[in-house]
Every structure is written in C-alpha cells, then in structure tokens.
Amino acid sequence: MELIEPAADGRAVAIKRSPIMTGVVRVLRVCFAFIASTFAASVTLIVLDALFTRGGRGAGSFAEAFLLINQIIAGYALIPAIVFATVCEIRKITNIVVYLVFSVLTALTPALYLLFGSGSGSGLLLPVLLLLLPFALGCGLVAGYVYWRIAGRYAGGPGLWGES
C-alpha cells in the first residue's frame, strides 16, 4: 500500500506502509475508542443520576462512583464490543445508526436479563426496567457516538485516518 505525499520541492513521493503497522494502528484505535466510550458512558450515567435523583452525593463519591461504574460498564460490554468491532472492521460498516443501536442494546442488556432471564418474579421488574430506560438510552447513545467518532467511521480502513 502506498501513500502519496508532496516532498519539499513539490514532487509527489510514494511512502510504503507496513501492513503489520497498519493492523496495529487499527487495533489501538479500536481499543482507545472502547475505553473512551466507557468513560463517556460512566460520566453520562453519573450526570443523569444527578439530574433525575434528589440530592447530590458529594465530590468524593463522584470519583468512586465513576471508577465503579466504569469497571462495571467495561466488564459486561467487553465481549459483545469485541465481536461487534470485529464484524464492523471486517464488513467495513461505518453507519452511525448501527453503532448507536448496538450501544443502546448493550446498555439495556443487564436490565433485559433481569426482566426476562432471572426466572423468578420477572413481572415485578417491569417498573424497574422503565425507570432504567432513560439511563440506558442516554449512556448507550453517548457511548455509541463516542466510539463511532473515534473508530467506527474509519471501520475497514487500513490506516489511522481510514485511507483506502
């Protein structure tokens, strides 16, 4: 693969890219995008919690809540995100709607498991699911947008900027 860049004297110079380095850049871009999207989802959840609940929790518990929520989000979203990112990179899917829908469904996964997968008293959890819906939608949309902005719009491209 060659990239054409102008030299100092105005001539075009072809620069060869290593396929190994190109692959490494793609993997690093996807990893960074996942970490950034979990951070964005954590901050969104804390902000939505502060907006929709009464009383603040204080500055000290903000950092604790951020770290705990970030670990939880990253923990349950890691495996589906790896599969999704791999499929999007292979199939060169760059549509933002796909990333937003996946992120919202991933954010709803714990609530849907509690509703349908627990087996006992699942009818009682419907009001809880409806209360969690705005939080899951907000976090999923923000995380999906952040991921798409960093890595998703370049899916399938060989380099850092997605040139083909």
Q: What is the DSSP string of 22-45?
A: HHHHHHHHHHHHHHHHHHHHHHHH
Residue 31 pLDDT > 70, yes or no?
yes
Distance between CA atoms of residues 48 and 39, nearest Å:
14
Place of tokens 């990179």: 89
Strands 2-6 and 12-16: antiparallel
Please give the average per-residue pLDDT across 7-13, as a whole number: 62
Residue 58 pLDDT > 60, yes or no?
no
pLDDT score, position 48: 78
What would the pLDDT profile of 66-80 be if each residue is shown by its tens digit? 777 777 777 888 888
What pLDDT band is residue 29 in, cutting at 50, 70 and 90?
confident
Give pTM, 2 decimals: 0.71
Least confident of 3-12, 69-78, 80-89, 152-161: 3-12
CA angle 126, 113, 52 (to 5 degrees): 50
pLDDT score, position 12: 61
pLDDT score, position 132: 75
